[in-house]
Structure 1
């Protein structure tokens, strides 16, 4: 039959053979081709290309009355980012005698290239509990006296989110306290204070947590820390949220009337999607939650805001940022933060040892990163300074200022 002559219809995007598939950002050019394979000569109608991108949210809520469900209310909204149409093959003039429109193509493989530019201000691709942000390219092939054939290919949009901004490089800190009460009276107070060196991070980085837990109660408490992802969906003036823990650590138990201090406790960020903050109907936000588990009563929570970006920290781009945030796994000799109280300088032998980690183990620089990464003459200067012994201490100035002779 006629429709069996179209062996395959597919959409191929440039870069699809790369690991992870093609990924684009706003303003970039998307190119590819629609492939039609025919088993025999066939008459084809119009071939249309449609590129779409939208955010979609939907959920339902049930209202119960006694033992039965009274009614179910649905909430949903849609926000379009991309709507591109293109005709790759026209209907063609009618054939004399038969009067059928279409283009006759021989058997074999036929490619129809296409290209379009993404608009500005897109949202990053996302799949959530009650909504998603998706982008795709769809091809539709019409044929005389046969059903139309369709093919679809999705692609990823990754909007750049640079953490090298003053707002995201600012330290975050907070403190909370709670009075432990029972039915027969108060049992003391538990307090927690915590801080991190900045607000913006990228996946794979380590967050150094500086915290102080003061247990003034008569019970042992357990401090914990976790990275929380909050998905917020908005439709018809109603909000729906989904929270989940993406990474967590548990500290040592703090006995009654004792105090514990975290000197940069490390919490690594797993591979998670970046923050989505500019979409009208869908938000993805992160926070660092420090929790103190108190037996017999509710927990004590302290929450610090986080932003997960896509452009990592430039190692030497800001004096206020921590250089070790990006290379903390390999460069242990760099401190990840400044403690509250000044400490005595460490012994030189404890900082520089004979068993140094080879330079080959350093993480490679990211694509498109500024040339200020750990390479080149500047890195060589740092290495020279690193292995240079400290100057000898002396109370005698080796270069004294000599008085000038007035008669000279």
Structure 2
């Protein structure tokens, strides 16, 4: 009969989507069922965030593998190091996700950004027992969010080539820049076809993923949605409107990861036979739904349909910025400057030393309460409570008290009540910040990305 019957891990959801963000509290419990007294070498729970990329290229008769990894944080807490009696043991835990900028969870063809909560039991000369849960992380670090709720406007003029005469004028308006999954991008294009050619207005929403490993990179382009309008004849003018739907399961924009970049663009162009298609390209930022809902109440942008005009004023296009170099360049007139995204994310070793939350910082160890359990007892359940945070070392800085001004000292006060005996926590509990730990690398890539036939 195996000594360990089961090891399970559960955590409390903070919202309907079961997502977490910077500074959120992850609380849950680890349940361990033991069939007989068992010696435990190490028992802990940890949470970590890692990014990894890997792909293979062929040069002649040789295959070259490109890979890179980044660790954003790792927090680890030990439960117990002793002999566990028979029964069911329940351990509560709490982690505070570090604040700062970290990329959202992502899974792609050649890489992923993953956040994992894992409980692990180690015994001498025995196979390790583990239980883990993948946590969906959605970053709230979005610079210039209010400006991303403004309209975008772009103008394009083009002289047609050899097979056509005349020129085309196109003015395009997009209602904003930032969208949540499931929202609709509203596009208006006013086209003046002062040429001898027919043309079909089209719009395309695309995703561009860039995987980077040292000096190498790999690009992946995916069309999310594509729409076409009716033909516009020569010497005519027409206004076209589109509603481009964003899928509800679309990954958010990622621009704060060094090795994985996820960007979106909206291209409006005129499909003209035997001519270079005039086009304008707008950036699109996909943000988490909770961030989008909070931004709507904090900012009221210009109206979608301004009075006495089919298009918004130029001042309403403050969210427009030049297209990414991954999407190519074009002669396009933008009417506003671009917001700034940081390209140098910072690794965070743990919670801030000053924690504004009423919850104590997660520099806690855990130990099995005060009850004494006999190994000969029958099956039972023991809940190991969270310790008093005042008994544990805090990472917050301490400062000496302000010196009192000189003066007569107060008379001593006699305290006749007996003082309570001091208590020291057990010596077998410990808590360590493992961000800089080098003896445990990120999870093996082969476990996350099995080699495909194409790679081999």
TM-score (norm 1): 0.67
CA distance in structure 1 between the aligned counterparts of 2:173 and 2:29, rounded to whole angstroms:
51
CA distance in structure 2 between the aligned counterparts of 1:19 and 1:229, rounded to whole angstroms:
26
1:309 to 274, 287, 302: 287
Q: Residues 34-183 of structure 1: matches in 2 within 5 Å?
A: 34-63=30-59, 69-90=60-81, 92=82, 103-107=83-87, 109-120=88-99, 121-160=101-140, 165-181=145-161
Q: Which runs of 5+ in 1 are unaligned?
A: 64-68, 93-102, 325-333, 343-408
CA distance in structure 1 between the aligned counterparts of 2:140 and 2:40, rounded to whole angstroms:
42
Q: Which runs of 5+ in 2 are unaligned?
A: 314-456
**Judging changes above 3 Å, is the alpha-carbon distance between structure 1 residues 256 and 247 closer, same or farther for their aligned structure 2 residues?**
same
Q: Does structure 1 conserve the Cα–Cα contact (< 8 Å) formed by 2:306 and 2:312?
A: no
- What secondary structure, in the 3-state scheme, does the structure 2 residue paired with 1:312 have? helix
140-149 vs 307-316, which moves further? 307-316
Relative contact order (alpha carbons < 8 A, sep ≥ 6): 1 or 2 greater?
A: 2
Confirm or deny that 1:26 pairs with 2:49: no
Shift of residue 192 of structure 1?
2.8
1:260 to 221, 226, 238: 238
Q: Does structure 2 conserve the Cα–Cα contact (< 8 Å) formed by 1:161 and 1:309?
A: no
Shift of residue 299 of structure 1?
3.4
- What secondary structure, in the 3-state scheme, does the structure 2 residue paired with 1:305 have? strand
Q: Does structure 1 conserve the Cα–Cα contact (< 8 Å) formed by 2:173 and 2:312?
A: no
Q: Does structure 2 conserve the Cα–Cα contact (< 8 Å) formed by 1:208 and 1:336?
A: no
Q: Alpha carbon RMSD of aligned pairs, Å?
A: 2.9
CA distance in structure 2 between the aligned counterparts of 1:241 and 1:35, rounded to whole angstroms:
44
- What secondary structure, in the 3-state scheme, does the structure 1 residue paired with 2:292 have? coil
CA distance in structure 2 between the aligned counterparts of 1:40 and 1:238, rounded to whole angstroms:
54
CA distance in structure 2 between the aligned counterparts of 1:337 and 1:293, rounded to whole angstroms:
30
CA distance in structure 2 between the aligned counterparts of 1:62 and 1:179, rounded to whole angstroms:
43
CA distance in structure 2 between the aligned counterparts of 1:315 and 1:235, rounded to whole angstroms:
38
Shift of residue 72 of structure 1?
2.7
The count of aligned residue pairs is 308
Tell me which residue corresponds to 1:282: 260
Tell me which residue corresponds to 1:321: 302
Kindly provide the CA deviation profile for residues 175-214 of structure 1, in whole angstroms up to 9, marking residues without a partner as x: 33444445xx544434432122322222232222121233
Tell me which residue corresponds to 1:383: none
CA distance in structure 1 between the aligned counterparts of 2:144 and 2:95, rounded to whole angstroms:
31
CA distance in structure 2 between the aligned counterparts of 1:338 and 1:40, rounded to whole angstroms:
79
Shift of residue 82 of structure 1?
1.4
Tell me which residue corresponds to 1:348: none
Structure with greater strand percent: 1
**Judging changes above 3 Å, is the alpha-carbon distance between structure 1 residues 297 and 37 closer, same or farther for their aligned structure 2 residues?**
farther
Shift of residue 168 of structure 1?
1.2
Confirm or deny that 1:292 pairs with 2:273: no
CA distance in structure 1 between the aligned counterparts of 2:214 and 2:195, rounded to whole angstroms:
47
Tell me which residue corresponds to 2:391: none
1:339 to 310, 330, 335: 310
- What secondary structure, in the 3-state scheme, does the structure 1 residue paired with 2:251 have? coil
Q: Does structure 2 conserve the Cα–Cα contact (< 8 Å) formed by 1:176 and 1:300?
A: yes
Q: Does structure 1 conserve the Cα–Cα contact (< 8 Å) formed by 2:118 and 2:132?
A: yes
Q: Does structure 1 conserve the Cα–Cα contact (< 8 Å) formed by 2:164 and 2:197?
A: no
Tell me which residue corresponds to 2:226: 248
Q: Does structure 2 conserve the Cα–Cα contact (< 8 Å) formed by 1:223 and 1:290?
A: yes
**Judging changes above 3 Å, is the alpha-carbon distance between structure 1 residues 29 and 320 closer, same or farther for their aligned structure 2 residues?**
closer
**Judging changes above 3 Å, is the alpha-carbon distance between structure 1 residues 11 and 316 closer, same or farther for their aligned structure 2 residues?**
closer
Confirm or deny that 1:229 pairs with 2:207: yes
Confirm or deny that 1:6 pairs with 2:4: yes
78-87 vs 141-150, which moves further? 141-150
2:171 to 189, 193, 203: 193
- What secondary structure, in the 3-state scheme, does the structure 1 residue paired with 2:98 have? coil
CA distance in structure 2 between the aligned counterparts of 1:286 and 1:321, rounded to whole angstroms:
23
1:270 to 247, 255, 260: 247
Shift of residue 303 of structure 1?
0.4
